[in-house]
């Protein structure tokens, strides 16, 4: 096995490896992501009683392939968001090593994760807008459904009907969430793995990658669930001439907790965690495997 510490991987390659790993994980967790979105966007009129009820109704109404609605948008999002954040993080980590001649500490890794999250989230906002709308469409009455045929059709219609800037609606809460998510995910994953391998002499293995990915997935889900809820509500708002229903993340959380109760901002937490947890695990495991394959056979 190649020693990754003694090999340099270019920034473009890191972006490609990260994007590919993210796409692999997305194919697995897309059904859970769709259920999470449906649960969060149903509003005060509760269409679904639970995540299981949501899953059952989607299958009954839209067929088995209904749980993969928006997959093309989800994959495109991984090419921009995950590729951008992994590429940025690895670039910052490599720059730190070259400048200081040592590995970054935990605080530095957290800061790198914040920057990587901001970059990746900004790049991924347009595709996330489309993903939210496509996965939420099935809960609307037929006359209100947007009926995007695919991600490219969605791009075209949004630009024509609502303007190009609509593709960046909710960019601020998306970036804010991305900063915190990646601070926890990237910083914690690499720091935990380094601690376990270097201080407790636990060898590199798939099981190690699994445990580190699951840990940072749970932490990031708990911290960011309310922000993810707010982001989803903002991105799902219809364009109207009147004043927008929500002004921002804080406004969403305030209005929702006042009208629907505090725990509403944790609506869909279980599918949210089940999306982030497995997504983290699969993404990091795929990334480690892809990195090893690249170093051993392609570099």
What mean pLDDT is reported for the chain? 87
Q: What confidence score (pLDDT) does residue 15 get?
A: 94
pLDDT for the residue 240: 55
pLDDT for 95: 94
Q: What is the CATH number of the domain that holds 38?
A: 1.50.40.10
**What pLDDT score does 59 carry?**
92
DSSP letter at 241 equals S
Give the pLDDT confidence score for residue 38 in this predicted structure: 83
Number of domains composing the chain: 1
Low-confidence ranges of the chain (pLDDT < 50): 1-6
The pair of three-digit structure tokens given for residue 152, joined into one six-digit string: 């490219």
Range of the domain at 56: 4-298
Query: In the prediction, which pLDDT does 238 show?
Result: 60
Residue 267: predicted pLDDT: 84
Q: Please give the pLDDT value at position 4.
A: 43
pLDDT at 168: 92
pLDDT given at position 7:
66
pLDDT of 264-292, one tens digit each?
A: 888 878 877 877 888 899 999 999 999 99
For residue 90, what are the CA distances in angstroms to 10, 68, 97, 116, 196? Answer: 9, 31, 11, 9, 20
3-state secondary structure 98-166: HHHCCCCCHHHHHHHHHHHHHHHHHHHHHHHHHHHHHHHHHHCCHHHCCCCCCHHHHHHHHHHHHCHHH
């Amino acid at each position: 096995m190649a020693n990754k510490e003694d090999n340099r991987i270019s920034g473009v390659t890191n972006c490609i490896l990260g994007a590919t790993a993210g796409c692999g994980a997305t194919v697995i967790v897309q059904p859970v992501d769709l259920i999470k979105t449906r649960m969060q966007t149903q509003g005060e009129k509760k269409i679904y009683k639970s995540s299981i009820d949501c899953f059952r109704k989607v299958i009954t109404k839209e067929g088995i392939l209904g749980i993969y609605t928006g997959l093309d948008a989800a994959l495109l999002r991984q090419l921009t968001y995950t590729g951008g954040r992994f590429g940025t993080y690895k670039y910052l980590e490599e720059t730190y090593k070259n400048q200081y001649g040592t590995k970054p500490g935990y605080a530095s890794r957290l800061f790198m994760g914040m920057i990587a999250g901001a970059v990746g989230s900004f790049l991924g906002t347009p595709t996330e807008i489309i993903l939210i709308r496509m996965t939420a469409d099935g809960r609307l009455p037929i006359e209100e459904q947007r009926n995007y045929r695919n991600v490219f059709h969605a791009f075209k219609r949004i630009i024509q009907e609502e303007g190009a800037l609509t593709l960046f609606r909710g960019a601020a809460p998306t970036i804010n969430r991305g900063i915190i998510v990646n601070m926890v995910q990237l910083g914690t994953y690499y720091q935990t793995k380094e601690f376990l391998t270097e201080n407790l002499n636990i060898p590199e293995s798939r099981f190690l990658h699994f445990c580190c990915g699951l840990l940072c997935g749970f932490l990031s889900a708990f911290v960011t669930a309310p922000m993810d809820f707010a982001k989803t509500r903002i991105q799902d708002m219809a364009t109207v001439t009147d004043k927008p229903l929500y002004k921002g993340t804080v406004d969403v959380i305030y209005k929702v907790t006042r009208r629907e109760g505090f725990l509403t901002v944790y609506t869909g937490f279980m599918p949210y965690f089940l999306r982030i947890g497995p997504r983290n695990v699969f993404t990091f495991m795929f990334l480690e495997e892809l990195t090893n394959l690249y170093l051993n056979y392609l570099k």
